[in-house]
Chain A
Amino acid sequence: MACGPYWTFVVKCRARERRARRDDPARDNERQVGLRVQLEGRQLGCERDERWLFQALEFSIEDGDLCRVEGPNGSGKTSLIKMLTGQLEPSEGAVLWQGKPLPKARAAFHGALVYSGHLSGVKEALTPLENLSWYQAIGIDDDARSVAACWQALDAVGLKGFEDIPVAQLSAGQRRRVGLARLHLLNRPLWILDEPFTAIDREGVAALEHLVAEHCHKGGAAIVTTHHAFSSVAFTRRIGLDGHGGHHVL
């Protein structure tokens, strides 16, 4: 191969560049600034079976916001959450992440988001530890690149001692906790949680409430749908859907 030495040279240069970038303190600041939360809904509307669940919904979520989405069953809470996470195209209007419409800002937005939906997102045949290390890998999170981080996250959700037991053998609440361990594991500014308290016991609920409040206090943001009354935490924003096409934003 005539081009062998050239490629060795290129590879070495790239490695050097990478090292330099990793050691550069300015880059860390840049990343922090780059990951500011700024999620906006512009004239959002959701139509299901020729019925408008909500229309002309306007809001914005920024650093430190704790937002609650409330409304009766079938009022479109989950549809709204799916639009905000980019899983569902809005019937009208747009969702903007840092000023850019979602499809364009997808990679950056998903790099800043932890989403927990109705489904636990946990593989039953794998152990909690294997589940989390996979999430770490597909989350490309630089700050949590070790098995130790997975152990800590499991410890934080009260699953110490269950690391190597297949998830299929855990209870419903424990499975849910494995999914929620991602909040500890991935260092992301925006949390979107759809009914996070399902199947979780009283201490777990208190711990999760505390965790969400602390996250927002530290400058992160969270959007939560729940019927559960937060006992200790004040919401800075509320989006109420009435199920007949109306809404109010506080």
Chain B
Amino acid sequence: MSSEGGHSWARAFRYTFVRDLRLRIRHGSEWGSPLIFFALIVTLFPLATTPDRTVLVTFAPGILWVAALLAVLLSLDALFREDHDDGTLEQMLLSPVPAWLLVLAKMCAHWVMAGLPLALMSPVLGLMLALPSSVFWVTALSLALGSATLILIGAIGAALTVGVRRGGLLLALMILPLYIPVLIFGAGVVRLALDGVDVTPYLAILGAMFAAALALSPWASAAALRLAHSG
């Protein structure tokens, strides 16, 4: 049964992933909003502080990372809410496929629509903050890895607050402390790259946090969903 089971699990994962992508694409505004939010915050900083390139570039890693973090946080509330409201969430929890697998599929789709675009857009916004083009790749890589970690961690909070009406603020309060290490090392990667130092140690720590979150978060989120759903 195990090999047969593995095959149908992969199919369930694929269908859930594609379903979520399709839903995001059809609700155009929903997947665009974190991206626009990200661009807006980054645009406002040079206007509010100074156009001086040497000053801006020292703040650039922090600005990019804080804006990306808030954009991810903003998008997380929608991760399970719609499924909870229309009843597909309870059907997912009643499926013979383990819930963590379906939750993981949802997280992957969320990253493709709300995390990866932030990373891809970072060079453009980096240009605005006077980042030298030599660190574009490192910035994008740190944001791609970091946003995946942020989504994985945040999903636990989103799952716990799914039954709470207007749980957005509660979610932020719960999740922000857990985001701090990711923020420190993520922005640290870009800062090291700016200083021309080897970034691999910081990237490795960021990768380790991603791996730990990937291992724990799907199970924790699925358990949290069951808990929130039975309340």
Contacts and interface: CB of A to CB of B under 8 A. Distances in A.
Interface of A: 14, 17-18, 21-22, 82, 85-89, 107-108, 110-111, 113, 115, 117-126, 130, 133-135, 137-140, 142, 166, 179
B22 interface: yes
Contacts of A17: 3
Contacts of B177: none
Given A110-B94, A115-B94, A126 B87 contact: no
Contact of A138 (B85, B97, B229): B97
B3 A121 contact: no
B12 interface: yes
A125 B88 CA distance: 13
Contacts of A138: 12, 15-16, 91-92, 95, 97, 102
Interface of B: 3-5, 7-9, 11-12, 14-16, 19, 22-23, 26-27, 85-88, 90-98, 102, 226, 229-230
B62 to A, nearest CB: 37
A137 B16 contact: yes
A46 to B, nearest CB: 12
B15 A123 contact: no
Given A121-B86, A134-B15, A138-B15, A86 B9 contact: no
Given A107-B98, A138-B92, A138-B95, A120 B230 contact: no
A177 to B, nearest CB: 15
A111 to B, nearest CB: 4
A21 B4 contact: yes
11 contacts: A17-B3, A87-B94, A107-B96, A115-B94, A121-B86, A121-B88, A122-B87, A123-B86, A137-B14, A138-B12, A139-B95
Contacts of A134: 15-16, 19
B230 A89 contact: yes
Contact of A113 (B15, B94, B230): B94
A130 B18 CA distance: 10
